[in-house]
Structure 1
């Protein structure tokens, strides 16, 4: 089942934002995330806020786009009433779940609402996630015609037994076909991979890398499998039905992926992400890692504006009830302290190739950077240039780097 929402302070029914969100707002980019919580089946490893048809409790998918459009209009009004400057949307991301289980007309209607309420900045990035078996050529053409610029396919693996363990429903040969259709539509293409699935060998992982690279994508994300409590996979491991993922094998798999992606012309720009150029990085995800502003619509979606973070009620039924009542769907929120915002900046910006500016650190922390350079965890040349950037070994030990910097 999806993980529980965090606790927080009460969220006002009118969504009102504190005056503090105005500080520096003009210098921050603004994006929109739309969560689509529907899946055909629940993958055994997943604890995202997603629901199959039997879990919807009477709510209807064909009403969802209208509900999200209401929240988008509500969000634009809340931001205007807070006195925030007008900012066209730089990035839009439809995630899930499987957004492409909805008709293309629903996705394009929600995008149209975003354009109406805020406008899109010139060259805006507009992405949707998609399962390889949830789209065809006509669907992708319709998205591109409406202004989508990018699609991220959940490939995960090219090995049938790995896909079965993950409960993925597509066939490996479907991936190059949908990538070709996306290219014909003029869309940039990213593929998502997962490594470290129980029973997956290094040779299996190499086969998936080869298959992904053969598609010649603009971008690849590769994530280590994390066994989340409460998932089917966690229960299978607890019962001894499948093996616990091996952390040493995870490290070997990451090193292999980085070497192969780099050799193919894809450079890392965040620990789990590689792109062909700066122009094909996920600008939306970079906005999360660099603390920009975004409104997130949909059940369980998390928004952030000017140090205020809030999250919506989880279940699509509860979300629909709030929307129908004309009140904020937010479940709770928190106002981040200066200390919390600084710690988050250290945590996130040490994950990216652009690095954490050293001026953010105090003298004691800069001394730690020197020690991390000596230990091969931080790039010395980048540090001389004023940024803390992890080495390959530092990426493998990213938590250690952050804990050391923050004195944890």
Structure 2
């Protein structure tokens, strides 16, 4: 079942349950209210009749006829009873035996009377003293409960009709409101189908608001990242095949030349040296590719611990010093004490080494490492005074097998980015104040 119909059905069911509870409650309350109102009316009519009885002589046939006309006009069932003598003074009810049964069953001295019964019929009762504090004569007025139940049924039918119309209007409104809610989701589903088929260029924005708009933005971001990832993977395989194919062809050429006697003596020895160098290069490429794969997929390869940034930079400088001396480059570092990070020490040292050695190879005379801390982040900067990095190369610099001038495997900076991002940080490249490249590693705290 479609979501729109599910929401409409759920809303309609909930509304029907609420309306049913309300209807049952109102149905029971209506009868109680009608009974209370009828008792008040009986009491008002009883007071009028009592005043008439007190002021007029009922032995006069004209007065009695006037009273009976009043009772008939207002459809009142009345009898007067003397509890002292147990006599029925007068009655508009012809069934005297029923009156005697009531008198014998119910206590007329109680102010609040229950519903009197007569067979299957029930009556609302009001008892009015005729001569309060002078005699035990009382006027009893009765109304059949069936009359009130008819009013109750009429009122309830009208109320039920209003409820049905209200539910109908609510269902129609619910249908259009849920349709407005579900339509963006349906369109979003089609955009996800396009992403599934890798039709990234056909993914479009949809008109939505609130949480659906946030989901739509997440889908667009996901599509962009997937497209970028697929393109980088495609480029990775192309570059990887090229990087692996070149040394293999070199090794194959020298191996076949030595086998066939093309290379002899010194040329053969030189060929063996080239083969060993190319094999070492292949091993380095493969090891770095394996490390990248593990950083992307394995959880156990990364073991976090609390390290001091000052010691991290000191170790990096010490390991990079031989290469710096060989390149005649001076390494300077400025690191305040007391800055700590929760990262994998060995992996982060490797990331730093990849960046620093890259800076040393491209520097003219100086590499500067700086660490700073703010309220929100810890930043490590590596700057050199070399030629810098071209604007076209910067966006792809951290991709796999993307090499700048003088690069080796094209995997070092990709490994550094993977380690930094795995550590919860970010890395970027730009131009330094020294004139060369500036690598910035940022960690939020």
Greater helix content: 2
Q: TM-score, normalised by structure 2?
A: 0.16
Quick one: higher RCO (CA 8 Å, sep 6+), 1 or 2? 1
Structure 1 length as normaliser, TM-score?
A: 0.17
